[in-house]
Structure 1
Amino acid sequence: MDLVLPVLAVSIALVSILLAPKASGEGAFYKGLSPAGETPGLVMLIFSQVTTWIFARSLMNAAILGFYYGLWGTLAYGLYYLSFITGGMIIDDLRFRKGYDSIQAFLFDRFGEWGTACYNLVIGVRLTSEVFANLLVIGILFGAAGSGSYALAVVGLALVTLVYSMLGGLHASLRSDLFQMVIFLVVLLMLLVVAFSGGHVSLDNLLFKPFEIDQPGPILMLVALLQIWSYPMHDPVMMDRGFLADRQTTRRSFYHAAWISTTCILLFGGLGILAGSQAATGEAMNVVLMRLLGDVPMLLFNAALVISAMSTLDSTLSSSAKLVVVDMKFLSPTMRNGRMVMALFMLLGLLMVFVGNKDLFSAVAVSGTASLYLAPVIFFSLWRSWERIPAWSYLASFTLSISGAVLYFMESTGYTMWLGESHKYTKLLYISLSVLTLGCLMFWLGRRQSNSYRAMPANVSDY
């Protein structure tokens, strides 16, 4: 049984490589075009959206939050998937109403070089953290941190995913996403059958943690509702898929991805809830699941994590190449340069695995807090079309968000206790609400200042 998961992982990797033909040109590598020059269809786009967001870290987070905080913890994580709704609204306005071909072009038009510099920094960190988090989950599945099996699993999966990502770019990612999503759905269905047939699913077990507004689960639900407005715009994997197809296909892909991904996350997180309801004091989630489900279902549980990790890694690498080569225009848009960028981001992710923080949700919380600087951009510059927002307002919002993200990281890891003895998610709520409110205030003040300058007479004699 110990050899089954490695064999399964290798098999999925080999099939993914076979499904990833070498890109015939820059259109396939960066825009996901087929060899015939066609854009991806609706089903491929939906499954790619879903599988790239139901990544290994998300599955593990949903289960862990359910284990510790019950239904409300898993629901909190599920609420983040409403980002597909807000993300679809952002893309529809940005691309189809205002005519921009990238987020960077919009930000440069509104805020100049500072607009793109701040954004590229945030999403560069986001992409690196995605590589790190998914590799970390793989390492945990195959061995204890620091062990030989841990290192071998991390490096092995990194190399295999890098190979087929470099071969076909975004087109390869879309094709492999479709295959990996089908496999994931089959595995999830089998897990649910085992869980229901074992008699572990009951209303009492699902509600083993009561709803109390001041508890971590409900508080995290409020955090998610604050962060979903800006979260999608700082996720280049989601946003990149909004620039591939026509308007109707793009709209439908986002809306269908919303309900499919939310359903999958809640169902998978339900396994963590069941484990939490049956756990003895001090018992780990994996140990409880093994006791409740048995060896074969736990193999399926781990297989789902492996599949989701691979599907996210290839998409993250494709977006990394597009960020540096196409959006930032740091290198000429050749496939060779894109492959070099992929290798660099994979190397950075590997470095973080072996020297970085091991708290999976910290990456989500820090990333989501940093993204809040984009909320006033979306509310006012995009959806309300305010054009006279000075760069200082944008920079002030950016500084607030980054400061909030750093503060949460320091508080959640115990480096500081400036916000008192409250639970870390309570602190996250205070930080998120403060950053969002103050960021919007900066934009309001900036527009008011711009309007005042515009209304001022040309010379003193006009008074």
Structure 2
Amino acid sequence: MELPLIIAVAAVAIFSVFITPKAKSNGAFFNGLSPKGKPPGLLMLTFSQVTTWIFARSLLNAAILGFYYGIWGTVAYAAYYLSFLTGAKIIDSVRFKHGFDSIQAFLTDRFGKWGTQCYNFVVGIRLVSEVFANILVIGILFGIAGSSSYTIAVALFAIVTLVYSMLGGLHASLRTDLFQMVLFLILLAALTIVVITTGHLNTATLMFKSFSISDPGPVLIVVALLQIWSYPMHDPVMMDRGFLADRETTLKSFYHAAWISFACIMLFGSFGIVAGANAGSGETMNQVLLRILGENPMLLFNITLVISAMSTLDSTLSSASKLVAVDMRWIEPSRANGRITMAVFVMLGLLLVFWGNKDLFSAVAVSGTASMYLAPVIFFSLWGGRTDIPLWSYLASFAIAITGAALYFTESAGHSQLLGESHKYTKLLFISLTVLISGCLLFWAGIVSQKQQPQLSSTTG
């Protein structure tokens, strides 16, 4: 299977480079404008939203969760895609209600430089983890970690995607996203038809795991429903696409992306459910699928993962260059500096691939937990319109979220057992609830303290 997969990947990569226009202005490189200076249309923006969020790690996670926890595991992962609905509300408020041109500008207005520094820290971790995770999936498909095929596949994939990303920046990413999404949908439809015709995809198979509220799948559904309020705001790829087009096009792209993404994740996750229902003792998901489907369907399965990895990686790199050069202003916002930034992020991602954690879902859970410090910001400052939240409330909420993210990482990796021996997703639910409730209480306490200050001053006088 390796040679056909290599040929397929090479074909997609070469065509992606072929359709990539070289960015001739900063507007094209950082803001996605066409050579004529026009923003993306609804179809391009929607498909770009979908394909940059249905990345290889997501597909693999949805299938793996389905394999172990049945339909409830896949539903849990699909629930994260409701973030498009909350993301639409966030963008509409930041951009069209409050009039800011970036999330950083809003946070600076509300909380000063600390507002953006905390945010950029979380966003930076998110971007590096995305580069790492999508490169890692390629390595998993092509060989065992440490093997020559693994190393070569990872290096070539990273270099090819970096090349066409550096050529055209965000506009190139939007164009290749459109092509890659169309190809992804064709392959997903073909794979679904194959699985259905084998007779393995049916109601009995999908429901091979019964529902129990204390099981990992249902617990993870609750976690997702807690994290989707803040999750989109910490994802720069989604947020960047909220500032490209007019209000109607932007909101429609978010709404359409929500249902398309949910459907795609459920479809791909169902392959993992099929594998779980037919698994023998000690069999992995890929081994089961290869046994019951054969080599050609598995080739389609792997090609869809490669395409989604490529489409996400180029978008992540364009967002990374915009974050460092435009939003953080660490360097001059030029195309040359943007390209250098892309190369640095790819190197960081490669370092993590060869020396980092190999748990794909841990990156989602850790960044999702860290992002929850933004939930009270959204509830009180953005949607509530409060401008009197003290800085200490913001910083304390940030500190608790980062602590919670670190705690989950150590607990899920087995480095600590401070929360006992319960399942790691039960621990994640407890941590998420604690972070969310604590953050909201801190913001409420900050409002109360601000109201009491004039009274205290008056009494003292």
Aligned to 1:11: 11
In the alignment, structure 1 residue 58 sits paired with structure 2 residue 58? yes
The CA deviation at 1:458 is 4.7
Partner of residue 448, structure 2: 448
The residue number in structure 2 matching 1:114 is 114
For residues 75-114 of structure 1, the aligned pairs below 5 Å read 75-114=75-114
Q: Where in structure 2 are the equivalents of 1:133-144 lying within 5 Å?
A: 133-144=133-144
Distance (whole Å) between structure 2 residues aligned to residue 455 and residue 21 of structure 1: 62
The match for 1:260 is 260
The Cα offsets for residues 116-139 of structure 1, whole Å up to 9 and x where unpaired, read as: 000000000100000000000000
Query: Is the counterpart of residue 432 in structure 1 residue 449 in structure 2?
Result: no
Aligned mates of 2:88, 2:131 — CA distance in 1: 24
User: Distance between the aligned counterparts of 1:91 and 1:264, measured in 2?
Assistant: 24
Q: CA deviation at 1:460?
A: 3.8
Residue number in structure 2 paired with 1:43: 43
Distance 1:95 1:380 in 2: 17
3-state SS, counterpart of residue 330 of structure 2: coil
Residue aligning to 1:378: 378
Aligned to 2:301: 301
1:457 deviates by 4.3
1:181-204, CA deviations, whole angstroms, 9 ceiling, x for partnerless residues?
000000000001001100111211
Residues 323-377 of structure 1: per-residue CA shift (max 9 Å, x gap): 0000001111110000010000000000000000000000000010000000000
1:56-455 matched pairs, under 5 angstroms: 56-455=56-455
Q: CA deviation at 1:454?
A: 3.3
Instruction: State, as a whole percentage, how many aligned pairs show the same letter.
Output: 66
The 1-side partners of 2:454 and 2:153 are apart by 61
| CA deviation profile, 1:110-165 (whole Å, cap 9, x unmatched) | 11111000000000010000000000000000001110000101000000000000
State which drifts further: 374-383 or 1-10.
Answer: 1-10
1:262 maps to amino acid: F
Secondary structure of the corresponding residue to residue 418 of structure 2? coil
SS of the equivalent of 2:229 reads coil
Amino acid at match of 2:310: M
Q: Secondary structure at the match of 1:174?
A: helix
Aligned partners of 2:151 and 2:389: how far apart in 1? 49
Deviation at 1:429, TM superposition (A): 0.3
For residues 234 and 314 of structure 1, what CA distance do their matches in structure 2 show? 18
- CA distance in 2: counterparts of 1:2 and 1:230, whole angstroms: 40
Matched AA of 1:152: I
TM-score (normalised: structure 1): 0.99
Residue 369 of structure 2 contacts residue 402 of structure 2 at CA under 8 Å; is this kept in 1?
Answer: yes
Q: In the superposition, relative to structure 1, how do residues 460 and 140 fare at CA in structure 2: closer, same or farther (>3 Å)?
A: closer
Whole-angstrom CA distance in 2 between matches of 1:121 and 1:424: 25
Q: Which amino acid aligns with 2:285?
A: M
Structure 1 runs (4+) greater than 6 angstroms displaced: none
Report which stretch shifted further, 234-243 or 452-461: 452-461
Amino acid at match of 2:236: P
Q: 2: distance between equivalents of 1:2 and 1:376?
A: 48
Quote the offset at 1:456 in angstroms: 3.9
2:329, 2:116 → 1: CA distance?
A: 12
1: distance between equivalents of 2:112 and 2:416?
A: 36
Distance 2:19 2:241 in 1: 19
Q: CA deviation at 1:292?
A: 1.2
- RMSD across aligned positions (CA): 0.8
Paired residues of 2:2 and 2:142 also in contact (CA < 8 A): no
TM-score by length of 2: 0.99
What is the alpha-carbon distance in structure 2 between the residues aligned to residue 460 and residue 236 of structure 1?
Answer: 47
